[in-house]
Amino acid sequence: MKRAYVILIIVIIVAIIVGCSLIRTIFYPPAVEAGELYDNKGQSLSFSKWDKDLQEYVKNGSVNYSKWKENQQNLDDTLAYFKTIRRTQTARDHLLAAYINAYNAFTIKLILEYFPGIKGIRDIPSAKRWDAVRWEVGEKTVSLNQLEHDILRKEFIEPRIHFAIVCASIGCPHLLNRAYEGNILDTQLTEMTQNFFRRKENCKIDGNTVYLSSILDWFRGDFVRDELATKLQWFGEDYKKASQQVRLLMFVCKFAPKDIREKISKNYKNWSIKYTTYDWNLNGQ
């Protein structure tokens, strides 16, 4: 009887583990093995028309879709420019900036095609949203999902992209009102990541619980990978030996406001993590 009871407990535990793994496989973005494919030898790029539009139509992360829909010439010229980019001839940081700008510009174009008849990007038919293979950049025609998961996440070791690419939703990072540029990309990515964690809906403390945006859950693997210590050298030996939860909190503390950073870093193991509900409503003015 005791043996049967033990076996039953083991079966239940295995079922829970498999079930959780299956849930992540079905409902979460794919895990990726990232690697750096490019170096900083090559040509630079400029996104002046995209930069002009962002300054005109974006304020504090909110987008004036009504005005933008009236004048899309600069946007269309920007999309045409993405087609001319040659990956192997472009410096790494400029190429990464191009892919970030491309993701955001493609998303804006997609929203404008359906605006004002939608309240959020998920109102767009599924087949025409993230999986539609229609966007041209760097000698490839890709979907938004392919650009995010197969290029941005896989070809660059850069977790800060998650605070730069914007899916037109309130729960997203704010859309920067300037183009990302290769020569200042590191500064821009740091500032946008810090800006993300300053927003209380993305990072706050209550008791011994840290409340984080769902982005930190969906893409958890990108924020806890070994390369953040070995290649980027953001962290030391303590990071390499830490659990995934501690690693995630160490990443948060690198960019979070000082008061949050000081509280959490006193003892990373004292904290539990909960993820907030994502707001998919349109990030419009």
Position 17 scores a pLDDT of: 47
Indicate yes or no: pTM above 0.85. yes
Residue 138: left (phi > 0), alpha (psi -120 to 50), or beta? left
Position 209 scores a pLDDT of: 98
Position 10 scores a pLDDT of: 57
Position 123 scores a pLDDT of: 98
Cβ neighbors of 231 (< 8 A, separation 6 or more) are 36, 157
- What is the DSSP-derived secondary structure letter of residue 62? E
In this predicted model, what pLDDT tens digit does every residue of 261-285 receive, in sequence order?
999 999 999 999 999 999 999 999 9
Q: Which residues of the chain have pLDDT under 70?
A: 1-27, 32-34
Burial letters 140-175, b for 16+ CB under 10 A, else e:
eebbbebbbbebbbbbbbbbbbbbbbbbbbbbbbbb
Q: How many residues would you count in the chain?
A: 285
Position 31 scores a pLDDT of: 76
% of the chain residues with pLDDT over 70 = 89
Instruction: Quote the tokens at residue 57.
Output: 């139509």
